[in-house]
Amino acid sequence: MTNKKFKSGFVAILGRPNVGKSTFMNHVMGQKIAIMSDKPQTTRNKIQGIYTTENEQIVFIDTPGIHKPHNALGDFMVQSAYSTLRECDVVLFMVAADEPRSTGENMIIERLKKAEVPVILVVNKIDKIHPDRLFEIVADYTSQMEFSEVVPISAKQGNNTERLIDTLSEKLDEGPQYFPEDQITDHPERFLVSEMIREKILLLTREEVPHSIAVTTDQMTRDEETGKIHIMATIIVERKSQKGIILGKGGDMIRKIGKMARRDIEIMLGDKVYLETWVKIKNDWRDRKMDLADFGYNRDDYM
């Protein structure tokens, strides 16, 4: 029997879009719980990844990329990200090594200066730069504010992520185990199913379509005859032209989206799935408070 004290805490991951926040959390968790794409603003909700060992439980909060909002959905995303500063024990401020510090990072830094918890600078994507450049990047950021620690990593390759976990463990206090040891996220399966469908749309479509869609999982039931899990999901778009893109010629695009999403959903659920998708038009839903709430983006939760 060990006398080592159990540590726990909540760790917020903040940064601009596409710096690798979701990639890092998925790597730590050992499986996908946050969707990924090269499109900005892929993550829209706060997503918790629960990392548990015999000595600690670290609850990572993957947040939407902080950007200048252009609609009510964007405003929700930014408010959602900043709200984590009020509920976490440590902040990971993640930046991309292959991109220069921008006004976006400067805006986040000004908020972080007021944080009442330790802020760790995480320089991600170090695999994309020459090692000699790292000192210059770190010096640039540390000239803007004092960080509790600085940890360079490559979330994609897994470089130095164990050191980051060890650093977090040192910052956390003794505390309870908030979640069962086999639980890896606080989100229900329906949310994860919706996100996996949305990820495939992000992957397969371009221009305005990825930002204009929402996905809801309306039903999940087990078919008694086949034993498969029957999932009914709705893809919401803002324009008739976007519906045409999602459906594709002769329905080829919607079939491709469904086939790719079903593969990931079956891995997550560990069961065979029959996925049925529908496409629905909701004009300007990203600027309608009622629609945002219906589709899981309720800003009032973060006021």
pLDDT grade for 251, boundaries at 50, 70 and 90: very high
- Residue 299 known to bind ligand: no
Task: Show the domains of the chain with their CATH numbers.
Answer: 7-171 (3.40.50.300), 189-302 (3.30.300.20)
- Residue 66 known to bind ligand: yes
Asked if pLDDT for residue 177 goes beyond 60, the answer is yes
- Residue 18 known to bind ligand: yes
For 15-25, b/e burial (b = at least 16 CB within 10 A) is bbbbbbbbbbb
- Residue 19 known to bind ligand: yes
State the pLDDT at residue 299.
47
Q: Which residue has the higher pLDDT, 123 or 192?
A: 123
Average pLDDT over residues 115-144: 95
State the pLDDT at residue 182.
85
The single residue listed with the structure tokens 């990924």 is: 36
Per-residue pLDDT reduced to its tens digit, 54-85 = 999 999 988 765 655 445 655 655 566 566 67
* Structure-token pair, residue 133: 């450049």
- Residue 20 known to bind ligand: yes
- Residue 296 known to bind ligand: no
pLDDT grade for 137, boundaries at 50, 70 and 90: very high
User: Which of these ranges, 17-21, 49-53, 135-139, has the smallest mean pLDDT?
Assistant: 17-21
- Residue 65 known to bind ligand: yes
Asked if pLDDT for residue 303 goes beyond 50, the answer is no
Average pLDDT over residues 9-38: 82
Asked if pLDDT for residue 227 goes beyond 70, the answer is yes
State the pLDDT at residue 69.
47
- Residue 64 known to bind ligand: yes
- Residue 125 known to bind ligand: yes
- Residue 127 known to bind ligand: yes
Average pLDDT over residues 175-193: 86
pLDDT grade for 26, boundaries at 50, 70 and 90: confident
- Residue 100 known to bind ligand: no
